[in-house]
Each structure stands twice: as C-alpha cells, then as structure tokens.
Amino acid sequence: MIWNPSIAKADIEPTQLAKAVQEIEYLDAMRSGLASTLEGQKQEPTIQIFKEVCQPVGIRAKQLSQENGWQVKQIAKKYRNSAHAPDNLHSQIALAKFEQNPELIGFWEQ
C-alpha cells in the first residue's frame, strides 16, 4: 500500500485511507528499527539474522493484507529475497515512479 494525498482518489473513505497510511508507517518503522540492529556489524548477516530482522516485517505485512483486504508487498530493484522482485506491471510502475521522482515518499493507487 503506497500513498500520496495529492493523488488520492476521492471515492476512498478517508478513515480507511488514514488507517492504511498509519499501518504502513508503523510497518516501515518496524522495518527500520529491526534493520538498525545490523548497522555497524563487521560480519556478513547470516540467514538466522535475516529471519530475525526480515521475517517479523513479512509476517506483519501478511497480517495487514488478511485483516484489511489490502495488498501489502515490499518490492525493490535490488533485493536479496526473490519475493521482493517486481513481479507485475503495477510493481514496475511503482518503482519507476520512485526512480523518476526521488522526493516521492509514497503514492496511492486503487
């Protein structure tokens, strides 16, 4: 779920949009917090470390999808986990939007 209030569709219920934004911000804060535990380490992260850091974020993203009927997915051009590869046109368009506008922090599409 990606969001930008300047292009949010008017037919989206404002409380649902606010909930989506809040939940994704919490998810990103969780990801950032867990990733910060890897900073300054001299050794390469192990599979176990990735499980401890990445797995909770993936589990929460799946929960959000199931609880709300959303599609929550992490995508990236550079990825370690093949599940994060852009696997459809929407994913590719989303990555292109961020690439074209480095100041963009999010956008919303139905």
Q: How many domains does the chain have?
A: 1
**pLDDT digits over 48-93, tens only?**
887 888 889 989 999 999 999 888 888 888 887 888 889 999 899 9
Which pTM does this prediction carry? 0.71
How distant, in Å, are the alpha carbons of 2, 29, 31, 102 from that of 87? 16, 25, 21, 22
Rounded to the nearest 5°, which phi and psi values hold at 42? -90, -25
Domain that holds residue 42: 5-100
Q: Is residue 24 part of a domain?
A: yes
Rounded mean pLDDT, 20-48: 87
Q: Report yes or no on 87 lying in a domain.
A: yes
45 DSSP assignment: P
Cβ–Cβ < 8 Å for 106, 3: yes
Asked whether residue 106 is domain-assigned, the answer is no
